[in-house]
Amino acid sequence: MKHLTLLALGSRGDVFPNVVLGAALQQAGFQVRLITFENFAPLAAQFNLDFAAIPGDAEALLASSGGLALLESGQNILKQYRALRQTFWQLTDGITTLLSQPHLWQTDGIINQLPLSLYGRSLTEKLHIPLINVAVIPMLRTRTFPMVAFPDWPAVLPGYNAISYRLAEQLVWSGFRQSVNQWRQQVLGLKKRPFLGSLAALNQTPTLLGFSPHIVPRPADWQPNVQYTGYWLPAEPDWSPPDALVQFLDDGPPPILVSFGSMAVRDPQRLTALVLQAAQLAGQRLILQSGWAGLGQQELPNTVFALDYAPYRWLFPRLAAVVHHGGSGTTGFGFWAGIPNILTPFLFDQYFWGQRIQALGVGPAAIPQKALTAEKLAAAMTTAVSNQPMRQKAAVLGEKIRQEDGIGTAVHLIKQLIL
């Protein structure tokens, strides 16, 4: 039996698609180990994956002062850089310490989530085994649009799109270079990577994209090593809805879900009050998911249901629309369900997905979290519920997305690359 190692770092929205992929690979006959933050051990266990923990808690990091600064950085690249140095880049030594354990080298291939392919690439260089990069957001160089974390300025600065990727690669490498090069030399017996251009090779590595070309048309300058699969959206057959949730859904018209997923905020009560006011102004029923933002920890009107958790594959088809931060997974579920997405982006790719939603005509214009008001959110809710051409476009797009077999396609391609 072939063994595969999945390396995935980030929030739940980053890790969960890799867990789903790992479970499907196990069903296809592979033995799979997931390596990610220790707080995702229960998620790995739920899907029966072997697990190795990287020291660190993604939720605690995002709730820290540095994490909050990161979530409030918007599209300011310098603020993002400083905040990353305070948070996730502090984990580099813990990652290399874990990956120095020889028993973790007993594998036939490594599947590495972008952008941090530098760990998987070094291990596959040492072990002479295949490397496959995976991504749920577009991160490979193209002249078609800028790196997703960057502002959209191509009309102002000629060549900006292409330059943004090189700059992003260099900024990421600067945070990991010292730790990775020390690991390469002292543990793996490899040469140091140079200061410039060390992440360029990720653009030539076999890469599977866990989203749909219906959402992001293929740029003309992407090479054949880059292949779309469609979305990796999990199903959880063992879950059953609580009676109170079913009753709320039955008691009136389809509600709007508000969830900010893995995003933390400084003042959950203020944000909850803003959302409640918006719903009242728009005359809409809500499901309010607490998430890492801690929404809804107060008395709520009977038109609002406080939700801890429900699988989106079950919940989203029962909604009128969804308000969220713009994570790739939540956005993908909105597309899949054929309902309008209302985005309130915090940072990174969330702005990119907001632009795609507006361009496709399947949701209102995004409202950056820093500019969010009850009045703006109420107007977006009203548009999402009442604009019939928008709702029809969302429904048609949903039909197309549901025809894709993202996980099945990914497993098929991985078999071709590994076996």
Amino acid identity, position 49: L
Domains of the chain by start residue, with CATH: 3-231+404-418 (3.40.50.2000), 243-402 (3.40.50.2000)
Contacts of 104 (CB under 8 A, 6+ apart): 5, 33, 35, 52, 98
In the sheet that 286-289 helps form, which strands lie side by side, from edge to edge? 304-307, 286-289, 256-259, 321-324, 341-343
Contacts of 280 (CB under 8 A, 6+ apart): 301
- Per-residue confidence of the chain (419 residues) as pLDDT tens digits? 799 999 988 777 778 889 999 999 999 999 999 998 888 888 899 899 999 988 766 666 666 665 566 555 566 666 666 666 656 656 677 788 888 898 888 999 999 987 667 788 899 999 999 999 999 999 899 999 988 878 777 666 778 888 888 888 888 887 788 888 998 999 999 998 887 766 667 778 899 999 999 999 999 999 999 999 999 987 766 788 899 999 999 999 999 999 987 776 777 888 888 999 999 999 999 999 887 777 877 778 889 998 888 889 999 999 999 999 898 889 999 999 999 999 999 878 899 999 999 999 999 999 998 899 999 999 999 999 999 999 999 999 999 999 999 999 999 999 999 87
CA dihedral 315, 319, 325, 331 (to 10 degrees): 70
- The token pair at 375 is 């009045």
Q: Are 271 and 290 in contact (CB under 8 A)?
A: no
Location of structure tokens 């389809």: 254
User: Which residues on adjacent β-strands are paired with residue 341?
Assistant: 322
Specify the pLDDT at position 218.
96
Strand (E) or helix (H) holding 321: strand 321-324
Query: In whole angstroms, what is the distance from residue 285 CA to residue 125 CA?
Result: 54
Structure pTM? 0.89
Closest listed residue to residue 35, CA positions, set 125, 127, 97: 97
